[in-house]
Structure 1
Amino acid sequence: MKTNMKKLLAIAIFSIVSTSAFAQTSQGSIAISGAFGISKTTQDNAAEINQFTVNIAPSVGYFVRDGLEVGAAVGFSHTAADQLTYDSSGFGTFKTTTNTFSFVPYITKYFLLSEKVAFTGHAFAGISAGTGKISFDSDFSPNADLKLSGVQIGVSPGLSFFPTEKIGISARFGSLGYTEFSMKPEGGTDSSKSSTFGLDLNASTLALGFSYYINR
């Protein structure tokens, strides 16, 4: 009788521990998350560049199956950059500020490494739009207001830590994918467009996140 009770108690404890460890990523769970990134880049060369970037992206995801989250993020990004450059009047500072909003659906796969740690593969595809301003302290280069738009698609690795059944802390850095960005002056017809494909290890790709899990 005592042996049976010990076995039942052991099974009950194991069940509780297993539920606590894996409930966050079980089918039917909902993840309410917020990601935050901040970076400053400085280049000391012929054209001195200082850039400051802030990214904020709240999101909601649903686990369609164990370890597979599908959701969408709504993001805001602010960038301010100063670049020392040269025109016909001499050296001056070229300043750019941008504010963009984005909508980014995503899929995240969790690979459990232990009861509290998981490696994540994050695939995303989204659009962005916003405004910007460029200025140059020179009479030969007038200021301009800009309309911005872009698309992005890619994959990003990360790690998630689950200190409790309801809480998750995550970090992602770097991405591999395609980005297209266009810029058009307000009231103008000419626009410039740039695109990149490849591995991006810029400091601005670092994102720290906090998640709250609502389990079934």
Structure 2
Amino acid sequence: MKRIFKLTLAAAAVFCSSIAVAQTQQGNMMVGGDISSFNLEFLGGGSGTAFDMSLTPKVAYFIKDGLALGGYVNFGLSTAKDQGTKTTYGIGALGRYFLEDQKVRKMEFSKRSRFFVEANAGFGGRNYSGGGGSTNGLDLGVGPGIAYFITPNVSLEALLKYNLTVGFGSATTSNRLNLAVGFQVYLPTAKARELIREERGK
């Protein structure tokens, strides 16, 4: 019990001390996700409801200042009465680069905001229960985004991404432009490992 209490204190120390650590510094970890759309619509005339949702959890590690590599999982569902169901899925690798150019930094509306570019590549698809233009195969995406840090370690984000799926199915390609909102938590992993090692050594 005493050891658990000490590890909890160490974790709290990591959180508090991380205020002084740059969010996108080499060795940090980014954990969070995007909500592309979330909508529950009550249709008139006794037609029932329409439901639309898409979630994309992400995790990435900063291999150098401003550049993170990691992975993502995507799942989406859209359904409405008498209109069938559309499911989307994806899994793969992602890369994110926070822009450091001073001309770009001057365009940021707040010292708490940061522009970035994100790209992904993996396997994914879009399938329709009603026999629409389903596509499964290589899933690619790229686009700009902005992160607003509501605390030194938590950001709210908006990401405009062009997505392309190329493969097999009733339609060989599927392309779309998607605006996603979400959040990320930035963890100073190097500092966390150091504190935990120190605590275990006592």
Shared fold (TM-score greater than 0.5)? yes
Contact 2:75 2:87 in 1 (8 A): yes
State the partner residue of 2:4: none
Matched, 1:34 2:12: no
2:127 and 2:147 map into 1 onto residues whose CA distance is 34
State the partner residue of 2:173: 195
Contact 1:21 1:116 in 2 (8 A): no
State the partner residue of 1:119: 115
2:155 corresponds, among 168, 180, 183, to: 168
Matching of residues 1-216 of structure 1 within 5 Å: 20=19, 23-38=22-37, 53-80=52-79, 95-111=83-99, 113=105, 115-129=111-125, 132-134=128-130, 149-175=136-162, 178-180=164-166, 182-183=168-169, 192-196=170-174, 200-201=176-177, 205-215=178-188, 216=190
> What is the one-letter code of the residue matched to 1:98?
K
> What is the one-letter code of the residue matched to 2:123?
I
1:76 and 1:155 map into 2 onto residues whose CA distance is 18
Contact 1:100 1:148 in 2 (8 A): no
Q: CA deviation at 1:146?
A: 10
1:178 and 1:147 map into 2 onto residues whose CA distance is 13
**Alpha-carbon spacing, 1:155–1:59, altered in 2? closer, same or farther (3 Å):** same
Give CA-to-partner distance per residue, 1:107-147, whole Å, 9 cap, x none. Answer: 1001253631111111111212576411xxxxxxxxx6998
**Alpha-carbon spacing, 1:81–1:167, altered in 2? closer, same or farther (3 Å):** same
Q: CA deviation at 1:80?
A: 2.9
The structure with the greater share of residues assigned to strand is 1
Identity of aligned residues (%): 27
Partner SS state of residue 152, structure 2: coil
**Alpha-carbon spacing, 1:174–1:59, altered in 2? closer, same or farther (3 Å):** closer
Partner SS state of residue 129, structure 2: strand
Contact 2:124 2:165 in 1 (8 A): no
TM-score calculated relative to the size of structure 1: 0.60
Aligned CA-pair RMSD: 3.1
The structure with the greater share of residues assigned to helix is 2
1:206 and 1:147 map into 2 onto residues whose CA distance is 21
Contact 1:119 1:160 in 2 (8 A): yes
Contact 1:69 1:108 in 2 (8 A): yes
Q: CA deviation at 1:164?
A: 1.5
**Alpha-carbon spacing, 1:150–1:96, altered in 2? closer, same or farther (3 Å):** farther
Gaps of 5+ in 1: 1-18, 41-50, 83-92, 135-143, 184-191
1:125 and 1:111 map into 2 onto residues whose CA distance is 21
Contact 1:75 1:102 in 2 (8 A): yes
Q: CA deviation at 1:206?
A: 1.3
Give CA-to-partner distance per residue, 1:141-165, whole Å, 9 cap, x none. Answer: xxx6998623221311110011212
